[in-house]
């Protein structure tokens, strides 16, 4: 198994091809109990609704069993190791296609937030020491210099922290830009756009069905989350 990139397209070699079924709209997901039905070899906890592993022919099953035996592993452990290996290859390919920039952008954003928090803490200490300096001078006429110097050091530290925060944020922005321009970034955007369009289409179908059903009901309203949908004739 391996991966390659040709003409901006990511190819992953995950072994023999197979058809994977993800279920259909309205399908109930969950575990199906045998209750004495089906072949005796079917496990009682087998998942239903197309969510399980792809079906294998007898030849493929035999090859897996032989490979597991040679590796000195159980079939289940061998399957898990194989799945982990495929997942590792996909992750490596994703990073090679620019996904690592996304991870780096998140890491530097977190570092920037940490420096901003440090800056706020240093500024708070500066205010405290300035207040102590003023109190010392009021009470004793002098002695506030120690606290004023501490306040100045706090302000200096806050300035350094703010500079670091900006530097890390700039790096994060650069990494984010590289990710968005990369193959991985374009692929993720395509998936997000497709999912958004799917949800909008489904929402429109529900709303249209509701309007058709309640077109003459002036008291009917349809809510979905924070959205309120009404027919124009309802006002």
Q: What is the per-residue pLDDT across 212-222, written as a single tens digit (0 to 9) for each?
A: 776 666 666 65
Q: Classify the C-alpha dihedral 43-49-54-55 as positive or negative.
A: positive
**Residue 189 confidence (pLDDT) above 80:** yes
- In the chain, where the domains are located: 193-235
Please give the Cα distance from 99 to 89 (Å, whole number).
Answer: 13
Across the range 165-170, mean pLDDT stands at: 97
pLDDT mean across residues, the chain = 77
Task: Say which residue, 226 or 117, is predicted with more confidence.
Answer: 117
Place of tokens 């009682």: 44
* Residue 215 backbone class (left: φ over 0; alpha: ψ -120 to 50; beta: rest): alpha
Task: Please report the pLDDT score of residue 45 as a whole number.
Answer: 39
Residues 102-121 as b or e (16 or more Cβ within 10 Å = b): bebbeebbebbeebbebbee
Nearest CA-CA partner of 12 in 75, 84, 93, 130? 93
Q: How far, CA to CA in Å, does 113 sit from each of 42, 130, 162, 167?
A: 52, 26, 10, 11
Q: Which of the pair, 75 or 164, is modelled with greater confidence?
A: 164
Name, of 129-133, 220-224, 225-229, the range with top average pLDDT.
129-133
Q: Give per-residue pLDDT as tens, 69-121.
A: 888 888 888 888 878 888 888 888 888 899 999 999 999 999 999 999 999 99
Mean pLDDT, residues 150-158 taken together: 96
The pair of three-digit structure tokens given for residue 106, joined into one six-digit string:
């998140």
pLDDT at position 9 is: 52
Packing angle, helices 100-140 and 145-181, rounded to 10: 170
Q: Where are the alpha helices (DSSP H) in the chain?
A: 58-70, 75-94, 100-140, 145-181, 183-213
Contact 103, 125 (CB under 8 A): no
DSSP 217: -
Residues 6+ apart with CB under 8 A from 231: 211, 214, 215, 220
Highest mean pLDDT among 25-39, 62-76, 179-193: 179-193
First to last CA, the chain: 61
């Amino acid at each position: 198994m391996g991966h390659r990139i040709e003409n901006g397209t990511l190819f992953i070699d995950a072994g023999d091809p197979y058809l994977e079924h993800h279920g259909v709209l309205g399908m109930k997901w969950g575990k199906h109990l045998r209750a004495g039905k089906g072949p005796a070899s079917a496990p009682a906890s087998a998942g239903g609704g197309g969510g399980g592993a792809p079906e294998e022919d007898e030849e493929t099953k035999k090859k897996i069993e032989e490979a597991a035996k040679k590796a000195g592993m159980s079939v289940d452990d061998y399957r898990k190791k194989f799945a982990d290996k495929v997942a590792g290859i996909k992750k490596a390919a994703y990073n090679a296609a620019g996904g690592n920039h996304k991870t780096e952008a998140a890491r530097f954003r977190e570092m920037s937030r940490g420096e901003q928090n440090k800056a706020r803490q240093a500024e708070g200490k500066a205010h405290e020491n300035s207040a102590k300096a003023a109190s010392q001078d009021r009470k004793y006429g002098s002695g506030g210099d120690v606290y004023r110097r501490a306040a100045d050091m706090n302000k200096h530290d806050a300035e350094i922290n703010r500079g670091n925060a900006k530097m890390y944020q700039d790096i994060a922005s650069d990494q984010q830009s590289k990710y968005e321009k990369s193959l991985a970034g374009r692929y993720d955007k395509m998936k997000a756009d497709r999912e958004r369009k799917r949800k909008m289409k489904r929402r429109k179908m529900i709303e249209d069905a509701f309007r058709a059903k309640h077109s003459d009901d002036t008291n009917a309203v349809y809510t979905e989350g924070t959205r309120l949908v009404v027919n124009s004739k309802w006002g």
